[in-house]
Amino acid sequence: MHAAKLAQDLREELNYHNHRYHILDDPEISDSQYDALMGRLQEIEAANPEFITPDSPTQRVGAEPLSSFREANHLVPLLSLGNTFDDNGFLAWYQRVNILLEEASFEMVCELKFDGLAVALTYEDGVFVRGATRGNGTVGEDVTLNLRTIRSIPLSLPKHAPKRLEVRGEVIFPKSKFEAFNTERISQGLTAYANPRNTAAGSVRQLDPKITASRPLDIYIYGLGYAEDIDLTTHWEAMEFLNELGFKVNRNMLLAQSPQDVLDYYRKWVTLWEQLDYGCDGTVIKINRFDYQRHLGVMGREPRWAIAYKFPATQATTRLREIRINVGRTGRINPYAVLDPVDVNGVTVRQATLHNEDNIKTKDLRIGDWVVVERAGEVIPQVITSIAAKRDGTETEFAIPKICPTCNHEIVRAQDEVAHFCPNAACPAQLIRLLEHFVSRSAMDIEGLGISQSTSLLNAGHIKDVADLYNLTAKDIVSIDRFGEKSVANLLAAIDASKSRPFSRLLVALGIPLVGVEVADLIARHFPSFETLIAAEEKDLVGIPGVGPKIAGTIISYFSSESNRKVVEKLSAARVAISVDQKQNLTPTALTGLRFVVTGRLANFSRSDIVETIKELGGTVSASVSRKTDYLITGEDPGSKLTEAETLGVTIISETEFTAMIDQNSATPLT
């Protein structure tokens, strides 16, 4: 037989046996027989390098170590899930979906939630070409060479696979193999790893693929990112298709017809998950139909069409050694517990939040107490209770100090407030936290500036308030640690790019208490500049739907500070967008004063997209039809809102008519 044909036959045979062993867990040949086949293929490819193909089993390992990972852009965002921890939270999510879909019932897919590392795998013409981590959901790290070493990831797909395909999965470290892996490390005098989840994530991010290959990682595929030229209508159908293509799909799934089916599934696995050979911290519920998913859309970085129902928190007992405080960006004094290190479900916990002094007193927590610590999912650990029976009399009570530990200013507690504050706006601790918030993704989105770099710039005297960021020079930045020439250029470019962020993002970035993304959007629509906002009175602010007296009070208090107004002046001098630009200022007139209700599934908008579009153009969106409704926008399968609109004489328009309305940049009523 010709060498090329023999190599091809061996590749197909090895891929077949690899699938049976790593995907189906049903091998047909022994390990020694598999190794013999691999040896023959390696000999042929060594003698004939031109026969080597990207999907050859011999190419899983062998690449040279990388100096760093490249960025990988996700064509479709790799989103995170919202969480719930009880039945009421799930049922509230179900009710919200029910209202948005206007359907009495809908199918849901229940799955186990893997505790590993989320990745996206891309195939072109049936060949695995790229693997990437989640990253920030839009941009991850290219870890293709490392993922190729995981034998449950097929390097090639059957001929009927889509021309271009991306699937999402979770890399895991099986618990049974993790124990053996740690035993081997200990025998070699090495430190044992803490838990399978972190070890899986760290293994995928090794710069040397050979290190990744030495670790028995596995993967489960849990979703479809995108597929060209294939018509799949449901998530369940997609998972069956991915299974047919040879991907490892977890079969512990359920097609649920009702909320009770979901709750029964959860109750089953909350008692069985510890028997699984992989990390599992809850269940995932997804709306089955893809058109329903598109209609529901995304809120922030979380899809409205899916939710994670986490298993109960894990608790452990340890000693509370100290209570310390830190100062937040608003001056809030935050007490936290310093604990004897304790393992809580594979994670070593050394600190836990205590919230405020009242919480400490209510729980009667004392320094030196034995306490119960809880960690639910990925949230910050917290102290649940003290164990008074174990006290020996050496324990001491805690009180918030009278003086700020950072600036020595007197700490105050406002009437009717549970928290204490340092009122000194120049407090360095507040500025560091404010800088962290100011550069964050939901605010000015300036990459490359972390707490350590901010602290160095602050200590060097280069930054005295957030506006000073825009006066930094290359000389200022290069003078602090961990900044090379390229990093300096990237940071300066990111700072310059942030000047054109929308006015509402700057409002968020300033850290005004209670002013988050949604409130900032509301304010920017009514007060499109700092000049108009600073001049606003409380009655002007509370006149905005969604802005109450507390929010109005924090805004007025913020701008009554001379130092805060000086920051605004410095931002203006640096040419940061301190008002809605001319284009933005014009568009809100398109739908100003108009009230919309949306019903049915739309072809070109998700629910979140059309709501955001209406708001951006100055309109408002209501959940129900009333005599105050100006337009009802209808899509496919409209619900009872259509009948209500007809009864009340509300103008009913199609998605096409709505698009024409905004394209004309006019609010002229349609007939």
What are the start-end ranges of the E strands in 564-609? Answer: 595-599
In the sheet that 108-114 helps form, which strands lie side by side, from edge to edge?
A: 82-84, 306-310, 280-287, 108-114, 254-256
Between CA 236 and CA 71 the distance in angstroms is: 31
Of 92, 157, 94, nearest to 127 (Cα)?
157
Between CA 637 and CA 101 the distance in angstroms is: 9
Of the candidates 5, 113, 475, 486, the residue annotated as catalytic is: 113
- Quick count: other Cβ atoms within 10 Å of Cβ 637? 14
Between CA 420 and CA 333 the distance in angstroms is: 5
Residue type for position 313: A
Q: Are 568 and 531 in contact (CB under 8 A)?
A: no
Catalytic annotation on 615? Answer: no
Strands 82-84, 306-310: pairing kind: parallel
Backbone angles phi, psi at 283, to 5 degrees: -115, 160
Q: Which residues of 408-420 are buried (b: 16+ CB within 10 A; e: fewer)?
A: ebebeeeeeeebb
Q: Where on the phi/psi map is residue 292: left (φ > 0), alpha (ψ -120 to 50), or beta?
A: alpha
Q: Are 75 and 140 in contact (CB under 8 A)?
A: no
Burial environment of residue 75 by CB neighbours within 10 A (0 to 12, 13 to 18, 19 or more): exposed
Rg (CA), the chain: 29
| Tokens 């719930």 found at | 84
Indicate the length of the chain as a whole number.
671
Q: Could you say which DSSP state residue 406 is in?
A: T
Which residues are bridge partners to 125 per DSSP?
none
Between CA 337 and CA 259 the distance in angstroms is: 39
Return the active site residues.
113
